[in-house]
Amino acid sequence: MVYSKSILDSKSKVWRGIWYAEAPSRCKSVAWRACNEELLVKSLLVEKRILNDATCPCCGKAEETTVHALLQCEEVKRIWFASPLGLKVGEVKKMSQFVEQFAHVLDEKAMGLVCAIIWSVWQRRNVRVFEDKILDCEHVMAKAWSMVAPQKWVPPPVQNVKANFAALVIDNLGTGMGVVFRNSSGVVLASGTNLLEEETYDPKIAAALCFKWVAEQSGELGFSNIIFESDCKILQIHWNLISEGKGMSDVSYLDSVLEDCKVMIEGTGSSLSLVLPTANKVAQRLAEAAFGYGEKIWMKVVPKEASLSLESDMAAIADK
């Protein structure tokens, strides 16, 4: 087969976008196979006369092509939109077209997440086909994020402050919260704890209430351009939808709290990101310490309970 120069240029852009992406090789392999229409979707199996029915096994409403399976199926659209990338899937005829358009504007790290989501969505489809199990949006995003998320804490860019926060719920005791604000050198600007005594919540509600408290503290401390970081996956998914003006379903208490957070940080140049628990250790130790300290703020230091985790983060920075 002879390709035109424009097609070859397009293939080259897609190849570079995938293979320079910061993602495991298995994720990039699935993305590349999808762009070359090599995944064994039902429409291809019908074409090869292996199957007689090409109906999507997940939604049962359309023909299962590569684009439908990985982008256009309704639940899959929700996954892309709820991802940290917040991508709205429009009319796309080929996976290569989808990848190429983002390869122009996303860096290697973001393209790594694109590849990881493609891989995780394809895994979801196969689990439905071969195990007859339905994996929800949160599960799919968690699998994708686990493929590419930093294992260790990473300092923010020079112009930003990073605020790592965490909440811990203990039955009959309450909800402990912790936050640490650091600059691009990893230097602590402030840290704090808060305790909602005898108030226990679902973990995602606790994380949202912690986010609200941290946003309040950041305003009182005069910080802006903050990268808020949490290891609560469901919080991140809801936040992406709220940021776009669309809750998960009916208005819930979680949505209400996040709407408050949105108003509080609007115009401050701030954002919320998801990290792995291993990159959020200082905040976790502070949340634990909250049961002893209650509400307290420390300037330029962390309490002794979080000092070892802070030293570990600093050592990781020094190793780079």
Confidence (pLDDT) at 307: 97
Q: Contact 184/160 with Cβ under 8 angstroms?
A: yes
Confidence (pLDDT) at 87: 80
Dihedral, 303, 306, 310, 312 alpha carbons, nearest 10: 150
Confidence (pLDDT) at 109: 86
Per-10-residue mean pLDDT for the chain, 320 residues long?
A: 47 86 94 95 95 94 95 91 80 89 85 95 96 90 85 93 98 96 97 94 95 97 96 86 63 88 93 91 98 97 97 84
Report d(CA 271, CA 266) in Å as an integer.
9
Domain boundaries in the chain?
5-148, 161-319
Query: Which residue type is seen at 63?
Result: E
Report d(CA 264, CA 249) in Å as an integer.
23
Superfamily of domain 161-319: Ribonuclease H-like superfamily/Ribonuclease H (3.30.420.10)
Q: Which residue in 153, 156, 141, 173 sits closest to 288, CA to CA?
A: 173
Confidence (pLDDT) at 285: 98
